[in-house]
Amino acid sequence: MSAGFRTVREERKMRSAKNVGLCVLLLLCLGVLSCSGSLFRNYGQILPGGEVTRDLERGVFHPELRYYTSGSDLYPNALIGLQRDYRLDPAALWKEIAMTPEKLREVVGFMKTKAFEYGQFPYEFELLDRGGKKIGFWYSLLSARTFLRFEEDGTVLLPTPDLDTYEKLEPEKEKD
């Protein structure tokens, strides 16, 4: 009978140790979450949008924006418009374009054509600063991913998508 009593006691100790472990894990998670605000304070947001897509397709360009492309000149991987009072990090591989309505229709048309070859569609996303103010747009395939960070010197870090954005969509060639 005492052997059975010891087993119950040991089980209680084991449960108690598990509870302590879970409490420590919970406290650790809460600590990380409380610090995450300071870790991500320099990051903006990239959210789905739709206001600009019609303008892009019609060639309506906004002179308050600077326009940039990434990737091929003929079939860009992404197109962005960024308010003129923001500076892109010069280390990024964006190419600034002197935009006109004709050029905008051409760029968007080529991007759509390339995307359709793979059964895809380009989408527009809003670029928001840390306070949630719209500072521009991003236009690309959904698979072309990036992030938006504001550097201490005032530049905006917006890495270009992978240069092989379209190639990643190609079906794997059958092996002989």
Range of the domain at 118: 45-169
**Within this chain, do residues 105 and 21 fall inside the same structural domain, yes or no?**
no
Residue 108 lies in a domain: yes
Residue 175 lies in a domain: no
**Within this chain, do residues 118 and 152 fall inside the same structural domain, yes or no?**
yes
**Within this chain, do residues 62 and 131 fall inside the same structural domain, yes or no?**
yes
What is the model's pTM? Answer: 0.73
What mean pLDDT is reported for the chain?
81
pLDDT tens, position by position, 39-96: 557 899 999 987 777 888 888 889 999 999 999 999 999 999 999 999 999 888 899 9
Count up the domains in the chain and report the number.
2
pLDDT tens, position by position, 146-168: 999 998 887 999 999 888 888 88
**Within this chain, do residues 10 and 83 fall inside the same structural domain, yes or no?**
no
**Within this chain, do residues 108 and 128 fall inside the same structural domain, yes or no?**
yes
pLDDT tens, position by position, 112-150: 999 999 999 999 999 999 999 999 999 999 889 899 999
Residue 157 lies in a domain: yes
Using the structure block, give the residue that is written with the tokens 């521009």: 136
**Within this chain, do residues 53 and 7 fall inside the same structural domain, yes or no?**
no
Strands 87-88 and 155-157 turn out to be: parallel
Strands 65-71 and 76-83 turn out to be: antiparallel
